[in-house]
Amino acid sequence: MKVLVLGGDGYLGWPTAMYLSDQGMDVAVCDNFVRRQYDFEIGAESLVPIASLQERIKTWHEVSGKSIKLYVGDLVQADFVYAMMADFRPDAIVHFGEQRSAPYSMIDRGHAVYTQYNNVIGNLNVIYAMADVDPAMHLVKLGSMGEYGTPNIDIEEGFIAIEHKGRRDVLPYPKQPGSFYHLSKVHDSHNIMFACKNFGLRSTDLNQGIVYGTETEQTVRHPRLATRLDYDAVFGTVLNRFCIEAVLGHPLTVYGQGTQIRGILDIRDTVRCIELAVLNPPDRGEYRVFNQFTEEFSVKAMAELVAKTWPGEARVEMVDDPRTESLSHYYQATHTRLLELGLTPHLLSQTLIESLFRVIEENKHRVNWESIQPSVNWRHTKNPASHLNAKLNGL
């Protein structure tokens, strides 16, 4: 099986590429390296040093004997996408190739426009290239549980049965995204579903929860195979922040009341979910949705688990929430389809003990404390300089 991983230089794209290659698949990766440019823009970097993608691919070949093909280009350039698809002709496309940070999309007008243009246009180019080069290709698209928001009813896997005025139908589950990034994911979902219906494509939309951890069976084989560990306030995850704060002896900062609930999963489960989706494709013309997470925690419960698991002293501290979100809400989401395909989840407490704390301890000298502090206020305030800065930056 031939699999093309878009965004193959990223936090999840690179481990996924190696994992699929290790399973005997013929893998190619595509990236434009813009994620590394974001680091320069916001003044942050991965806590774990990461090699260039070219060095990673070379090292993977040395340690595994397997080759990964590289395409360098931008998905918003249609000619590049068409040429890449025609050259590699993948059976499946794993699409990580988007700007993935909600806070980044909320910095200002320019970053909101950039996020939606980059994500939506790039995804449309992929869809049309599939339809024109080979409609039998299977698109495995990384969505987000954040597309759903926090409705006061159970969240289903993509679709919901509704009875209204005596009539019944199965409709796409209503979306209530909380950022311009999550809105771009909703647009992607709608565009993909439309293309499956009208072009006869096939797609699996993986609405993913928060991923934690940095180590897979493949990344630990050599230091140059490591993936990112982001902890800053723009691209870092809340769990990474808690773990770093614990290791450094700082209070674990919980936004608001900490009662916001999130679905989470281990990075080893992420790559396995991708494999299960690839090996079990939908029918032609079918658009399906899997909710990809394994456990649910409130933000405060995550902090308390980190504090309890860390062998030293750690305490939880509540701070103002810079986001516009419900501080307390109902949250119950269905996530059965990947389990039915054979996913065996790892547990959060096990990963904290085995991996995260050790990796952070080894690299704590690289922590930039200023980058941890909240820097993006999601409540828009008029800033005359914002438009000028965006214009100067080409946004």
Cα-trace Rg, the chain = 20
Q: Judge contact between 204 and 290, C-beta under 8 A.
A: yes
Report, as an integer, the average pLDDT of 34-58: 96
Domains and CATH numbers, the chain: 2-372 (3.40.50.720)
- Residue matched to tokens 């990112």: 228
Which pLDDT value is given to residue 325?
66
Element spanning 14, H or E: helix 13-22
Both structure tokens of 22: 């290790």
Which pLDDT value is given to residue 343?
97
pLDDT-based confidence at residue 389 (cuts at 50, 70, 90): low
In sequence order, the β-bridge partners of residue 210 are 264
Which pLDDT value is given to residue 370?
86
**Among 233, 249, 230, which Cα is nearest to 310's?**
249
Res. 137: pLDDT tops 80 = yes
What percent of the chain clears pLDDT 70, i.e. is strictly above it? 94
Both structure tokens of 364: 């704590």
Res. 54: pLDDT tops 90 = yes
Res. 202: pLDDT tops 90 = yes
Report, as an integer, the average pLDDT of 138-147: 96
pLDDT tens profile 8-44: 999 999 999 999 999 999 999 999 999 999 999 999 9
Report, as an integer, the average pLDDT of 180-201: 98
**Among 111, 112, 121, 175, which Cα is nearest to 143's?**
175
Report, as an integer, the average pLDDT of 136-143: 97
Res. 385: pLDDT tops 80 = no
Report, as an integer, the average pLDDT of 320-345: 87
Report, as an integer, the average pLDDT of 85-105: 97
Report, as an integer, the average pLDDT of 140-167: 96
What is the DSSP code string of 201-241? -EEEEEEE-EEE----TTGGG-GGG------STTT--HHHH
pLDDT-based confidence at residue 382 (cuts at 50, 70, 90): low
What is the rounded CA–CA span in Å between residue 15 and residue 119?
21
Of residues 76 and 388, more confidently modeled: 76
Of residues 354 and 259, more confidently modeled: 259
- Residue matched to tokens 């699929």: 20
Res. 387: pLDDT tops 60 = no
pLDDT-based confidence at residue 224 (cuts at 50, 70, 90): very high
Which pLDDT value is given to residue 349?
80
Mean pLDDT of the chain: 93
Res. 2: pLDDT tops 60 = yes
Res. 388: pLDDT tops 50 = no
pLDDT-based confidence at residue 392 (cuts at 50, 70, 90): very low
